Amino acid sequence: MPSTRLPRRAFLRGTAVGAAVGVAGCSALARRPDPEPIPDATAGPDDWPASGYDARNSRYNAGASPPRSEPAPRWTRDFEFWHEPLVRGTRVVVNAERHTVGLRATDGDRLWRSTSTPWGTETPTLGAERAYVTGTDCVFGVNLDGGGETWRGRPCHGANTASGTIADGRLHLEYGGYFSALDATGRVAWASSHDAQGSPAIDGDTAYVATALTVEAVDLTAAANEWPWEDPDDDEPAHASRTAATEWSVPSESRITGPRIYRSPAIADESVYVTVEHEDRPGGELRALARTDGEERWRVASPPARRGGDAPEPVGRPVAPVVADDLVVTSLGDRRLRAVTTEGRTEWTASLDLDVIDLVGAGDALVAATHDRSVESTAPGHAALAAFDLGDGSRLWKKRFEDHVGGLAIAGGTVYATVVTERQGDGEVVGQRLVAFG
């Protein structure tokens, strides 16, 4: 689950957006060498290469064929602690036990592990040739075949707060405190003073980012300037100002006490889809915004204008939406899945006995990880994986677990999930298992 701690930049900018400063004597970033593109990394049916699956954060693998009856484990792999799996063809990549680890997709055998250390709970982003990892002191790239470290950010920066998105030959992520685009050499080809709470959604010359306080459209062509008295290789790279690079921001004036947007936005056709939550209560909203100007097209709230007994009380937080064909599907913390058309009409709902904490889609199905939100307790049925038909929301299958399950990915005919297997007396997780179901 994304952190609910406000980034330093987001907090400082919470009450206002700074004005752009124009000073004679600045020089444009364009005088630098042309960026060298990262090889194309388009996701296919046998891949789940990023948290949001593709550059638009659809969380939907249209060409995959997930099981429509209760699956059995194909293989398992135990770790002390690790995070969600990513898949590129024959490789499954995870951050585990202070390394980035490459597994064989057919049987889970470990093939390599990185020498550098990943940072926190962020996940790698898998390109065509490498896994790009936010490290403790630098972003680094690991060859998918053999695990050799073959790429590093230039200059190195740590304390990155988001996973990356590969689009148009660049790796986009918050890097060293700036929203940046890195090229195949590791050089920062472009940057702006924006935050990116999660993986950005990219389409053409625009990035859509969640900043915790807002969702913003960022112009990736905005002029990035450097000043004669600054070292471009220092902690402050040549960058576009937040004002110059912001196409629109919702809400237009962020407030410390306002709504929170932690999860990455998704884009499709003419809309940006984002889930919104509030610090003082569970539940939330799914909002559709116009890509051109951020104007709200429609919203669905949880629970809807309530009357007694109409809907379950919300117990959790919204999850990132799945955008599939003409439907947008999410859960808003009230133990329901909602499928909404791109025009805002509810197509179907499905009730669950536990709260949804993760949701992905593939082919003609959705898979949800559910939990009763009691972190320390363990008991049969404490958590579950549940699959639903994308067309009508009917239940396809359900598997119960005694502890947390999450970290979902669907590639080919396999559903990957993380299962907690062991806790200490104080509730701290000390054992997890990656399971490939098929």
Tell whether 221 is covered by a domain.
Answer: yes
Closest CA to 322 of 372, 356, 292, 280: 356
* Sheet strands (E) in 147-305: 149-152, 165-167, 170-175, 178-182, 188-192, 201-203, 206-210, 215-219, 225-226, 246-250, 266-268, 271-278, 281-290, 296-302
Q: What is the largest CA-CA distance in the chain?
A: 67
Confidence grade of residue 55 (pLDDT, cut at 50, 70, 90): very high
* Range in 105-109, 409-413, 428-432 with the lowest mean pLDDT: 428-432
pTM, 2 dp: 0.89
Confidence grade of residue 119 (pLDDT, cut at 50, 70, 90): confident
Please give the share of the chain, as a percent, with pLDDT higher than 70: 84
Cβ contact 322:60 at 8 Å? yes
Tell whether 32 is covered by a domain.
Answer: no
Q: Find how far residue 415's CA is from the centre of its chain.
A: 18
Containing H/E element for 10?
helix 8-12
pLDDT digits (tens, 9 = 90+) for 164-204: 999 999 999 998 889 999 999 999 999 999 988 889 999 99
How many CB atoms within 10 Å of residue 311? 18
β-partners of residue 417 are 435
Tell whether 3 is covered by a domain.
Answer: no
pLDDT computed for residue 17 by the predictor: 39
User: Residue 4 corresponds to which amino acid?
Assistant: T
Both tokens of 97, joined, read: 């036990």
pLDDT computed for residue 93 by the predictor: 97
Report how many domains make up the chain: 1
DSSP state for residue 243 in the 8-state scheme: H
Tell whether 2 is covered by a domain.
Answer: no
User: Residue 82 corresponds to which amino acid?
Assistant: W
Round to whole Å and give the CA distance between 366 and 388: 5
Round to whole Å and give the CA distance between 266 and 200: 9
Mean of per-residue pLDDT scores for the chain: 87
pLDDT computed for residue 369 by the predictor: 96
Cβ contact 67:437 at 8 Å? yes
pLDDT digits (tens, 9 = 90+) for 286-333: 999 999 999 999 999 986 544 444 445 666 889 999 999 899 999 998
How many CB atoms within 10 Å of residue 350? 21
Cβ contact 400:384 at 8 Å? yes
Closest CA to 161 of 88, 205, 212: 212
Per DSSP, the three-state class of 422 is: strand
Domain with residue 230: its CATH number is: 2.130.10.10
Tell whether 18 is covered by a domain.
Answer: no
Q: Which residue has the higher pLDDT, 433 or 305?
A: 433
Round to whole Å and give the CA distance between 64 and 45: 5
Answer whether the bond into residue 71 is a cis peptide, omega within 30°: no
Task: Print the domain residue range for 93.
Answer: 8-12+43-437
pLDDT computed for residue 258 by the predictor: 78
Cβ contact 113:101 at 8 Å? yes
pLDDT digits (tens, 9 = 90+) for 14-53: 333 333 334 333 444 445 668 899 998 899 999 999 999 9
Beta strands 86-88 and 139-143 are unpaired
pLDDT computed for residue 66 by the predictor: 98
- CA atoms 246, 250, 255, 261: torsion sign: negative
pLDDT computed for residue 379 by the predictor: 59
What radius of gyration, in Å, describes the C-alpha atoms of the chain?
21
Tell whether 342 is covered by a domain.
Answer: yes
Closest CA to 179 of 7, 4, 22: 7
Query: What is the mean pLDDT of the segment spanning 109-127?
Result: 91
Tell whether 31 is covered by a domain.
Answer: no
Which distant-in-sequence residues (6+ apart) come within 8 Å of 137 by Cβ? 156, 157, 158
Tell whether 33 is covered by a domain.
Answer: no
Cβ contact 314:278 at 8 Å? no
User: Residue 203 corresponds to which amino acid?
Assistant: D
